[in-house]
Structure 1
Amino acid sequence: MALVELRGVSKSFSKGDETITPLDNVDMDIESGEFVSLMGPSGTGKSTLLNLVSGIDRVDSGTITVAGTEVTKLSRSRLADWRAANLGYIFQTHNLIPVLTAYENVELPTLLLKLSSAQRRQRVELALEAVGLSDRADHYPRQLSGGQEQRVGIARAIVAHPKVVVADEPTGSLDTETSEQVQVLLQRLNKELDITMLIVTHDTDVAQIASRQLVLDRGKFLEKGDEGSMSSQPQPTPHLFQQ
């Protein structure tokens, strides 16, 4: 059984008198530890797919199962608890809380878990170390560069040891050099920590770091390739999940 399974998933939206169907009876499997990128024209439902997988939005029909849990059957209250324990989300615009330090932003997801203060501290410190920001723990977002803010966002996404991390244009707001650094970091986290990743991107360079590329077009998935190019050499990452 795949870690992420979509079966017969459809989702439509109304826009004036028009009905838009970005996902039309689609199936998709993502195996544990896999790194999948999703491309396609704007407005084809890529972000919608992430929101459905993460339970932020609801399907019109079909089922989504993540790590053995049928997400489409969970109530809103149960979804919040499930999401906190199983899924990390990386945003394009970081979505950091400006009045909280990097440490406090990363700590937020752990507050929903049954962890002691010592366990929370250990996880946050390891997550910040994994993204190379241990020395910025006490800095506020306004004191960080765009790349550092995104790395805080990535640390926040992995701090709860999720089964899946989804990312919506994670390099979309970054310059070329910083984008390349984030690509190497995501690649490293996938390989070193065996984190399953699903990334939406318009950037072919970003898509190529994935082990598999899909294209979403007119409501259907097209396989783009079986293997991405791993051009950057990963560096060792702290063993977050062995603690």
Structure 2
Amino acid sequence: MPLVELRRVSKRFTKGDETIVPLDDVSLSIQEGEFVSLMGPSGTGKSTLLNLVSGIDRPDAGEIEVAGTEITNLSRSRLADWRATNLGYIFQTHNLIPVLTAYENVELPTLLLKLSASERRQRVELALEAVGLSDRADHYPRQLSGGQEQRVGIARAIVAHPKVVVADEPTGSLDGTTSAQVQQLLQRLNQELGITLLMVTHDSEVARIATRQLTLDRGKFLEAVTMT
């Protein structure tokens, strides 16, 4: 059974007199442990797809099932509960809270879970260790480099042990060297920890780190490449 499945999903937006269709009757299956990258021209529905898989937005037609739950018609409160335990999100611009330390930023998702203080501490420490930032736990975002901030963001995305992690241009704001480091980290999380990843990127070199590449254009998937 796929971990993520979209069945004949469509999404439309109205802009003035124009109807924009970023997703037009698309279907997609992602297996547990896969690393899928999604490319395509700007405005072709890549981020829309991430928002649908995350339950941030709803499709106009079709069904979406993630981690055994059909999320299309869940209420906002049930979606919030589902998202807290099943989904991690990596942003392009880190989205760290500047008045919180790296440890406290990573800890935030665990506050939504029914965990003891010791369980929360263990998860945060393991997540920071996984991204190589155990020695920066007490640092504030302003004391970190851009690459370190993004690694904190990745630790925050995995700390709740989600079934799926979605990443929206996770290297888009980084220089070449730092981007390469983050790419290696994402690969390691997928290969060594078995984390299922769905990543949007505009960079074909970044897309190649995934085990499967998809291209989205005019609301349709154009190709799928499996890396060996």
TM-score range, shorter chain: over 0.9
Deviations along 1:137-168, whole A, 9 cap, x unmatched?
Answer: 01110110000000000000000000000000
Query: In the alignment, is residue 140 of structure 1 matched against residue 140 of structure 2?
Result: yes
1:226, distance to aligned residue in structure 2 (A): 1.4
Query: TM-score, length-normalised on structure 1?
Result: 0.93
Query: In the alignment, is residue 56 of structure 1 matched against residue 61 of structure 2?
Result: no
The runs of 5 or more residues in structure 2 that have no matched partner are: none
Query: In the alignment, is residue 225 of structure 1 matched against residue 225 of structure 2?
Result: yes
SS at 1:166's partner residue? strand
Query: What count of residue pairs does the alignment treat as equivalent?
Result: 228
**Partner Cα separation in structure 1 for residue 224 and residue 6 of structure 2:** 18
1:73, distance to aligned residue in structure 2 (A): 2.2
Deviations along 1:196-228, whole A, 9 cap, x unmatched?
Answer: 000000011110000000000110012241116
SS at 1:139's partner residue? coil
SS at 1:73's partner residue? coil
Q: Which runs of 4+ in 1 moved over 4 A?
A: none
Code of the residue aligned with 1:199 in structure 2: it is: M
RMSD over equivalenced CA pairs, Å: 0.7
SS at 1:107's partner residue? helix
- 1:179 counterpart residue number: 179
SS at 1:27's partner residue? strand
**Partner Cα separation in structure 1 for residue 24 and residue 12 of structure 2:** 8
SS at 2:77's partner residue? helix
Code of the residue aligned with 1:20 in structure 2: it is: I
SS at 1:58's partner residue? coil
1:118, distance to aligned residue in structure 2 (A): 0.2
SS at 1:42's partner residue? coil
- 1:24 counterpart residue number: 24
SS at 1:72's partner residue? coil
SS at 2:72's partner residue? helix
- 2:196 counterpart residue number: 196
SS at 1:109's partner residue? helix
**Partner Cα separation in structure 1 for residue 72 and residue 29 of structure 2:** 16
Deviations along 1:150-192, whole A, 9 cap, x unmatched?
Answer: 0000000000000000000000000000000000000000011
Deviations along 1:17-41, whole A, 9 cap, x unmatched?
Answer: 1010000010000000000000000
1:95, distance to aligned residue in structure 2 (A): 0.4
- 1:239 counterpart residue number: none
**Partner Cα separation in structure 2 for residue 198 and residue 31 of structure 1:** 11
- 1:232 counterpart residue number: none
Code of the residue aligned with 1:177 in structure 2: it is: T
- 2:121 counterpart residue number: 121
The runs of 5 or more residues in structure 1 that have no matched partner are: 229-243
**Partner Cα separation in structure 2 for residue 227 and residue 81 of structure 1:** 34
**Partner Cα separation in structure 1 for residue 224 and residue 57 of structure 2:** 26
Query: TM-score, length-normalised on structure 2?
Result: 0.99
